[in-house]
Amino acid sequence: MRTIKNRIKKAFSILITLILMAAIMGCSKSDDGGSDVPVKAGKLSVTIDGVNNCNGGTILDFKLPYTLSQETEIKRLNIKTKLSNGSSDDFIDATFNDTGSTITFSQCTVFGTVSWVDYEVRLESDNGALSNSSKVRINKPNGAN
């Protein structure tokens, strides 16, 4: 009887050890957009130059500095928006300017009844690697549609 209990304890200990090893080895820095990614996005910033200046909306000019750890180019922007009313949208924008260290792009945004819009941007390289995300909240400017 004692031998069976010892074997069960030993098997349980081995099982716990295997689970812990699998958990530790199953997560790497690249899974969370950490420092191993080839493209690292800096702080996303936005400039608003007037309101209601594009098809009833407001032009938002974005600037996103970045660094590369290997030879690659930025292919597109993966953009997520979230509005103060809870709705959200994901889209890809291929219209941007790239200086080799900074991405700039513009969006025409109609705020309507929302009080703010969150923009989250990830850069996608030509080899498909995604950068960490960079976010900015834009409060509805006074007088904006």
Domain range for 67 is 39-139
The sign of the torsion formed by the CA atoms of 112, 141, 106, 72 equals negative
Domains in the chain: how many in total?
Answer: 2
Give the CA distances from residue 127 to residues 27, 40, 71, 138, in Å, rounded to whole numbers and listed in that order. 22, 14, 10, 31
pLDDT digits (tens, 9 = 90+) for 84-125: 999 999 988 779 999 999 999 999 999 999 999 999 999 999
* Residue corresponding to tokens 């200990």: 13
Backbone phi and psi for residue 90, each to the nearest 5 degrees, phi listed first: -120, 135
My answer on whether 16 and 67 are in the same domain is no
Query: CA quadruple 59, 60, 66, 72: dihedral positive or negative?
Result: negative
Structure tokens at 98: 């790239």
- pTM value is 0.72
CATH at residue 134: 2.60.40.10
Tell me whether residue 144 is in a domain.
Answer: no
69 and 126, same domain (yes or no)? yes
Residue-wise pLDDT for 43-72, tens only, equals: 999 999 889 999 889 999 999 999 998 888
